[in-house]
């Protein structure tokens, strides 16, 4: 938790998923070859999930950057996501990272930090 507090919300884009080669290389370097071979499938699945979430985050930020204010229903439609809980989880993290503002009043806007995040993506 301390690492998260050190990184968020100043530059949240620094914790985006790495590319696949870095995942393997860093895991082998830090944990050893045996650990990588034993846990490879699980690590790859978690990495794919984080990349998928990051892609949704970028899609959402792009949508918000084109609009002034949007409602949750507009976000659900734009994301094409049937699972609204998934969208809400992403929004909650983005609110914590201060990439978006205004979830409480049902109108959501992109923050200046969110615009910077989008530029760094």
Architecture per CATH, 19-119 = Orthogonal Bundle (1.10)
Single pTM value for the model:
0.72
Which one is predicted more confidently, 104 or 24?
24
Burial of 3 (0-12, 13-18, 19+ CB in 10 A): exposed
pLDDT at 113: 83
What does DSSP assign to residue 105? Answer: G
| Domain definitions of the chain by residue range | 19-119
Percent of the chain with pLDDT over 90: 8
Q: What dihedral do alpha carbons 21, 26, 32, 37 form, nearest 10°?
A: -30
Measured CA distances, 63 to 3, 27, 50, 58, 107 (Å)? 30, 34, 20, 9, 14
State pLDDT tens for residues 35-86.
999 999 998 998 898 888 888 888 988 998 888 788 888 888 888 877 788 8
Point out which residues pair with 100 in neighbouring strands: 110
């Amino acid at each position: 938790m301390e690492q998260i507090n050190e990184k968020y919300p100043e530059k949240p884009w620094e914790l985006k998923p790495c590319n696949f080669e870095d995942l393997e290389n860093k895991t082998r370097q830090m944990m050893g070859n045996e650990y990588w071979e034993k846990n490879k499938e699980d690590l790859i699945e978690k990495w794919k999930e984080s990349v998928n979430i990051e892609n949704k985050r970028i899609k959402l930020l792009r949508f918000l950057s084109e609009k002034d204010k949007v409602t949750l229903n507009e976000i659900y439609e734009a994301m094409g996501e049937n699972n609204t809980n998934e969208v809400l989880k992403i929004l909650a993290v983005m609110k914590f990272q201060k990439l978006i503002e205004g979830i409480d009043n049902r109108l959501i806007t992109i923050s200046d930090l969110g615009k910077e995040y989008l530029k760094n993506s």
